[in-house]
Chain A
Amino acid sequence: MTADLLQILRADGSIDGADAPVIDSGELQRLYRVMVLQRAFDKRALNLQRQGRIGFYVSAMGQEAAQVGSAYATREEDWIFPAYRELGAALVRGVPLQWIVAQLYGNENDRGAGRQMPNHYGFRSHNVVTASSPVGTQIPLAVGAAWAAKIRGDPVVTMVYFGDGATSTGEFHVGMNFAGVFRTPTVFFCQNNQWAISVPRERQTACETLAMKADAYGFEGVRVDGNDLLAVYKAAQSAVDKAREGGGPTLIEAVTYRMGGHSTADDPRRYREDREVSEWGERDPLVRLRRYLEGRELWSEGDEAQAQDEAARSIEGMIQEEEEAGPPAIETIVSDVFAQVPWHLREQLEEVRRRQEKRRAPGVGLIEKPEGSFP
């Protein structure tokens, strides 16, 4: 079963045999708008990085349906454990894009207090857990949180995001294994975007599919067309429902494609053919969903122009505002290491303050914003 690929939307936007999930028309339009906003923002953020206005960016172009469709299957009380590429999941959970913009600038408005590189955000208010860079480390955490919910008797599911590269890590193995043994309400959502920086999927595993790895842990693995919002939602909804009802974990392999580089520090032309990229471009998840909506007369040229225009305008407003915001307060450099600031960090904060005071002298200048570029 795990070699099968669940697909609902054909390239032309028509329905392909399998039952389409029931999603309210207004909700379908909203999900498409989220995807439009995500795509527009990714493009804008890449430009900001090229202009040197933000230090780094990770785009998810091509993976919007996988992210939006899966996170849409969760409820507010469910916990999302993203990697660092899951803007769509955050947006569909209602995280204001402005918070993300503040995080890219690492400014005083950033919920993460400017402590991490762009894309490493999290929002407790929305049960979106703060991401880290090491690949796969979030996987056992999502199992632990789901396990805790189970122990507490809360009907809460956790959904953890990771890529094809992460399936090679020990953390994937232990997370899957613990989840299988303890039947935790966890959905393992793997976006197989074919590339881990420059290393292709074939170099991560000799398995025919990633979904089949679930067999080794005693639970179900499903494989879905990750560029098909309806198929992704259907698979995710079924996994989330099963988890909530006590049926244990599921691994979902969403087959998709990373249309851009790994990050702004990457040049994918060094390791992959343009032809491959343009072939996947034919399967653009936005185009497919738009055609479906147009077929159902839920979307028009005018709607598209308006959605694009609204996205562009709102993004510009947010960028302007966050670019003008100041850096985090100096004391945030030592707060939150522990619940209380211990003596040695209070001392170190005073040292930092003294250095800053000296730099206020004419011609020296304060160090407030990140300098240089990554890498």
Chain B
Amino acid sequence: MPTATLLQALNQTLHAEMERDDRVVVLGEDVGKVGGVFRVTEGLQDKFGEERVIDTPLAENGIIGAAIGMALYGLRPIPEIQFVDFIYPAFDQIVSELAKFRYRSGGQYPAPVVVRSPYGGGIKGGHYHSQSPEALFVHTAGLQVVIPSTPADAKGLLTSAIRGEDPVIFLEPKRLYRTLKGEVPAGEHVVPIGRARVVAEGDDVTLIAYGAMMQECLDAAERAGKEGVGVELLDLRTLMPFDWETILASVTKTGRVVIVHEAPRTCGFGAEIAAMIAERAILHLEAPIRRVAGLDTPFPYTLEKLYMPDVPRVLEAVRETAAF
């Protein structure tokens, strides 16, 4: 099987989907000539022209607003927000227009826009190049929220997002863009939206994460295994709609849960999972649910390593949960 970095997998998928469907257009700041500041859209403009790969003025609400209009008309726009930290000017367009169009029009006007954006910390990016705002979008009815953690899933999930009929917030773990290399199935590879992946099976503790945090969790799970704690590691892959069945099956088996995300803890997505487990599976629990998350602070610069969940923090939570 061929291998690729997460970034290459995304780039190859965009090439393939633009080839496959001439309704697909890419627009955003610096996505054309320079191929995006991370180069995710590299080579697209050379191949598909300036009409389908568009360098836009610097205005996120314009990028998303125009993309919604394009989708209403029948195109399949993929706007890029250069860093998700800059998505807020477009928040009104996303929340008031994109998320509600199908519903508010009685199904007359679907708006299948795939908003791609790099997210997450650990790259010395400070406040404005590090955030993880996924919970804001999960909380906005009408948006699918997808976060891949591997090159193969990046391909499979982006393919599903582009071919789907719904608006998608597609967050890319930028810390892994070039550092994570993996096997990527050649040719057609579709990962359905809404299904988690059981990354490792184990009987003692269910460890739930997504996106960049999967790397910390893989490492922590391996170390816990050496210490005799069997970790069942779940990669959610999609936060809306999320895969409750897979979570429930695992919690039923282990009775112990640790949830990891780098987004701030309070009202983070881990709170929703914890609440669901408390509502529906509390009698299976053998230990309190633990969350390992970012702090409820703006994202710090110099002390970012103290903010981000890391392997020791995850491992400690796994150990304590197993021993409870």
Seen from chain A, the residues whose Cβ lies within 8 Å of a Cβ on chain B are 79, 110-113, 115-116, 120, 122-124, 129-130, 132-134, 137-149, 151-152, 158, 170-171, 173-175, 177-178, 181-182, 332, 335-339, 342-344
10 other contacts beyond A140-B62, A339-B102, with CB at 8 A cut-off?
A112-B106, A122-B108, A122-B109, A137-B97, A139-B65, A140-B68, A144-B70, A151-B51, A174-B59, A336-B103
Distance between B182 CB and nearest chain A CB, rounded to angstroms: 28
Q: Looking across the interface, which residue of chain B has its beta carbon closest to that of A130?
A: B105
What are 27 of the A-B contact pairs (CB < 8 Å)? A112-B108, A123-B108, A129-B105, A130-B101, A130-B104, A130-B109, A132-B97, A132-B104, A141-B65, A141-B66, A142-B69, A144-B73, A145-B70, A148-B69, A148-B70, A148-B74, A148-B75, A175-B62, A182-B54, A336-B102, A336-B105, A336-B107, A337-B141, A338-B102, A338-B241, A343-B241, A343-B244
A113 touching B106, Cβ below 8 Å: yes
Seen from chain B, the residues whose Cβ lies within 8 Å of a Cβ on chain A are 25, 51-52, 54, 56-57, 59, 61-62, 64-75, 77, 89, 92-93, 96-97, 100-110, 141-142, 144, 164-166, 194, 241, 244
Residues of A with C-beta under 8 A to B72:
129, 141, 144-145
Interface centre among A115, A133, A338 (most CB of B within 10 A): A338
A115 touching B92, Cβ below 8 Å: no
Given contact pairs A113-B106, A151-B52, A342-B241, A144 touches B65 in the complex (Cβ within 8 A): yes
A177 to B56, CA, bound (A): 10
B65 touching A342, Cβ below 8 Å: no
A275 to B77, CA, bound (A): 51
Residues of A with C-beta under 8 A to B66:
140-141, 143-144, 147, 178
Q: Looking across the interface, which residue of chain B has its beta carbon closest to that of A178?
A: B62
Given contact pairs A132-B96, A143-B69, A171-B65, A178 touches B56 in the complex (Cβ within 8 A): yes
Distance between B299 CB and nearest chain A CB, rounded to angstroms: 25
A141 to B73, CA, bound (A): 10
Cβ-neighbour of A115 out of B25, B56, B106, B109 (below 8 A): B106
Distance between A74 CB and nearest chain B CB, rounded to angstroms: 15
A124 touching B109, Cβ below 8 Å: yes
B65 touching A143, Cβ below 8 Å: yes
A140 to B97, CA, bound (A): 11
A148 touching B73, Cβ below 8 Å: yes
Cβ-neighbour of B144 out of A120, A332, A338 (below 8 A): A338
Residues of B with C-beta under 8 A to A115:
103-104, 106
Interface centre among B52, B69, B96, B194 (most CB of A within 10 A): B69
B108 touching A111, Cβ below 8 Å: yes
Residues of B with C-beta under 8 A to A113:
106-107
Residues of B with C-beta under 8 A to A171:
61, 65, 92-93
